[in-house]
């Protein structure tokens, strides 16, 4: 009925083998499948869930909103409340527009940076993923990487001719691309913490270096914070790494588990968007009252304490996984930023897409299934980040580490 039986490709288990599990419900840190088996969830709906599943504040907000109408197609207070919260957390954002997914945000941002600069080329990074949009699928991470596709079929060369892929964490490469395309680069778009080739943190000089290069070559800096926004710090990666972008894309956490994306940034740029300016972007369900209510409830629960607790849980898991890999004598890199973490089965720290691809995917596949049978659900690909929530307890982490030890010992023979 559905291609691959799924509505988004990585869900089909093609990256790990076997057939996907169907889920019936979720609560806190647990997913329950259609047969009633429980799993500790590390996919957290690809990072959209940060307070645990079915958090009472979100359920109540969505229920109350639904009673007042599922969609107006017109302005309402819920949009203003969420916008105010976003602007409060992200001081560099002067204007924000809500859309329905990260993909939609990317679509709008590419159009906007081209309109604003009168240039067509965009520098992106190998292994970064910005949604399933034509110009940015070249050398993309996430499912494109899981399936080993160089890029997607059906995208005209004329479209990707304006996409300039660079190596992540390699400022010299970015500089060379700027030099080779003098006066033609509209923007650099980057995942400030790469989460779509497994988890790859930015080197200390990388994000500030990109800011300087963009300033030097008169290009805009776009941070894709769809994964990191409101997750790696109260104000997202721009706060955690003290970098000032011109535009930011958001999604996942900002919708509390409902379909939301957003983009925002400098007022002069955002005022180029219709109806104030000539850049067209629109959406029937944009600013949907249920999604706005869920997002606002989620952000309201994300206090400073919540980030302290996410960091501590992340550290506990990282420490446990490092010890487990050492005990099993399996070379591994456990990379983490806050509540985003992943395991690469490789000898050296992973800094870019080429490094990420050295991970032992067959071993990951075996580990994945070993954990699945023990009631731990990882994202079904070696090249995806795992996400923690405030609902993950120390006991959950300890159970997970124990299951990981067993599954790894079994998988590594």
Identify whether the C-beta of residue 222 lies closer than 8 Å to the C-beta of residue 245: yes
124 as an active site residue: the answer is no
Q: Give the start-end residues of each E strand in 157-274.
A: 163-166, 185-190, 220-225, 247-251, 261-265
| Residues between 33 and 62 that touch ligand PMP (CB under 6 A) | 46
Residues 6+ apart with CB under 8 A from 164: 121, 122, 123, 124, 177, 181, 185
Q: Show the site string, 232-251: x = touches ligand PMP by CB under 6 A, - = not.
A: -------------------x
Q: Which of 224, 246, 355, 396 binds ligand PMP (CB under 6 A)?
A: 224
Residues 6+ apart with CB under 8 A from 48: 251, 252, 253, 255, 256, 257
Shortest distance, CB of residue 370 to ligand PMP, whole angstroms? Answer: 25
Shortest distance, CB of residue 263 to ligand PMP, whole angstroms? Answer: 11
129 as an active site residue: the answer is yes
Identify whether the C-beta of residue 210 lies closer than 8 Å to the C-beta of residue 171: yes
Q: Does 15 bind ligand PMP (CB under 6 A)?
A: no
Shortest distance, CB of residue 411 to ligand PMP, whole angstroms? Answer: 26
224 as an active site residue: the answer is yes
What is the length of the chain? Answer: 413
Q: Does 124 bind ligand PMP (CB under 6 A)?
A: no
Q: Does 101 bind ligand PMP (CB under 6 A)?
A: yes
Shortest distance, CB of residue 108 to ligand PMP, whole angstroms? Answer: 12
Q: Does 342 bind ligand PMP (CB under 6 A)?
A: no
- Find the part of the chain contacting ligand PMP (CB under 6 A) among 69-77, 188-196, 328-336, 392-400: 188-196
The residue annotated as part of the active site, out of 92, 121, 252, 366, is: 252
Shortest distance, CB of residue 136 to ligand PMP, whole angstroms? Answer: 9
Shortest distance, CB of residue 118 to ligand PMP, whole angstroms? Answer: 25
- Find the part of the chain contacting ligand PMP (CB under 6 A) among 102-110, 146-154, 169-177, 231-239: 102-110
Task: Kindly tell me which of 360 and 384 has the beta carbon lying closer to ligand PMP.
Answer: 384
On the question of a cis peptide bond just before residue 231, with omega within 30 degrees of 0, the verdict is no
Q: Does 261 bind ligand PMP (CB under 6 A)?
A: yes
Closest alpha carbon to 322 in 250, 226, 413, 405:
405
Identify whether the C-beta of residue 123 lies closer than 8 Å to the C-beta of residue 189: yes
Shortest distance, CB of residue 106 to ligand PMP, whole angstroms? Answer: 6
Strand partners, 166: 125
The residue annotated as part of the active site, out of 42, 168, 224, 366, is: 224
Q: Which of 44, 142, 313, 342 binds ligand PMP (CB under 6 A)?
A: 142
Task: Kindly tell me which of 79 and 191 has the beta carbon lying closer to ligand PMP.
Answer: 191
Identify whether the C-beta of residue 165 lies closer than 8 Å to the C-beta of residue 139: yes
The token duo for 316 is 């506990």
CA distance 125 to 165: 5
Q: Would residue 379 be called left, alpha or beta, if left means φ above 0 and alpha means ψ between -120 and 50 degrees?
A: beta
Q: Does 98 bind ligand PMP (CB under 6 A)?
A: no
The residue annotated as part of the active site, out of 39, 42, 129, 377, is: 129
Strand partners, 165: 124
Q: Does 191 bind ligand PMP (CB under 6 A)?
A: yes
CA distance 33 to 21: 7
Task: Kindly tell me which of 110 and 407 has the beta carbon lying closer to ligand PMP.
Answer: 110
Strand partners, 188: 123, 221
Q: How many residues interact with ligand PMP (rule CB under 6 A)?
A: 17
Residues 6+ apart with CB under 8 A from 323: 401
Q: Does 226 bind ligand PMP (CB under 6 A)?
A: yes
Q: Which of 29, 44, 103, 286 binds ligand PMP (CB under 6 A)?
A: 103
The token duo for 338 is 């806050």
Q: Does 129 bind ligand PMP (CB under 6 A)?
A: yes
Task: Kindly tell me which of 106 and 112 has the beta carbon lying closer to ligand PMP.
Answer: 106
Coarse DSSP helix, strand, coil percentages of the chain, rounded to the nearest 5 percent: 40, 15, 40
Which stretches of the chain bind ligand PMP, using CB under 6 A?
46, 101-103, 106, 129-131, 142, 191, 195-196, 224, 226-227, 251, 261
Query: What positions carry a catalytic annotation?
Result: 129, 224, 252
């Amino acid at each position: 009925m559905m291609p691959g039986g799924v509505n988004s490709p990585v869900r089909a288990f093609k990256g790990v083998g076997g057939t996907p599990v169907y889920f019936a419900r979720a609560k806190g840190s647990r997913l329950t499948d259609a047969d009633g088996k429980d799993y500790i969830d590390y996919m957290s709906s690809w990072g959209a869930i940060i307070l645990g599943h079915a958090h009472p504040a979100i359920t109540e907000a969505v229920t109350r909103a639904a009673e007042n109408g599922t969609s107006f197609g017109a302005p309402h207070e819920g949009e203003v409340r969420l916008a105010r919260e976003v602007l409060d957390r992200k001081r560099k954002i002067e204007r924000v527009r809500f859309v329905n997914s990260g993909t939609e945000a990317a679509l709008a941002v590419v159009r906007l940076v081209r309109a604003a600069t009168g240039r067509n080329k965009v520098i992106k990074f190998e292994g970064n993923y910005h949604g399933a949009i034509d110009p940015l699928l070249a050398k993309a991470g996430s499912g494109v990487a899981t399936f080993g596709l160089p890029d997607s079929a059906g995208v005209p060369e004329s479209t990707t001719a304006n996409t300039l892929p660079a190596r992540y964490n390699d400022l010299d490469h970015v500089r060379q691309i700027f030099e080779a395309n003098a006066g033609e680069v509209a923007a650099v778009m980057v995942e400030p913490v790469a989460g779509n080739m497994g988890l790859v943190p930015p080197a200390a000089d990388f994000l500030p270096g990109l800011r300087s290069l963009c300033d030097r070559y008169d290009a805009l800096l776009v941070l894709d914070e769809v994964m990191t926004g409101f997750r790696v710090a109260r104000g997202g990666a721009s706060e955690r790494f003290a970098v000032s972008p011109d535009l930011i894309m958001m999604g996942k956490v900002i919708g509390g588990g409902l379909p939301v994306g957003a983009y925002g940034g400098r007022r002069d740029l955002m005022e180029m968007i219709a109806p104030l300016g000539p850049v067209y972007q629109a959406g029937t369900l944009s600013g949907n009252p249920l999604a706005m209510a869920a997002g606002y409830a989620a952000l309201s629960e994300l206090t400073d304490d919540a980030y302290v607790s996410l960091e501590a849980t992340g550290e506990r898991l990282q420490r446990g996984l490092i010890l487990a890999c050492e005990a099993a004598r399996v070379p591994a890199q456990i990379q983490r930023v806050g509540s985003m973490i992943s395991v690469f089965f490789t000898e050296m720290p992973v800094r870019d897409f080429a490094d990420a691809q050295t991970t032992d995917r067959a071993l990951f596949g075996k580990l994945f299934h070993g954990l699945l049978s023990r009631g731990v659900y990882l994202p079904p690909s070696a090249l995806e980040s795992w996400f923690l929530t405030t609902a993950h307890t120390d006991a959950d982490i300890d159970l997970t580490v124990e299951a990981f030890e067993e599954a790894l010992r079994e998988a590594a023979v």
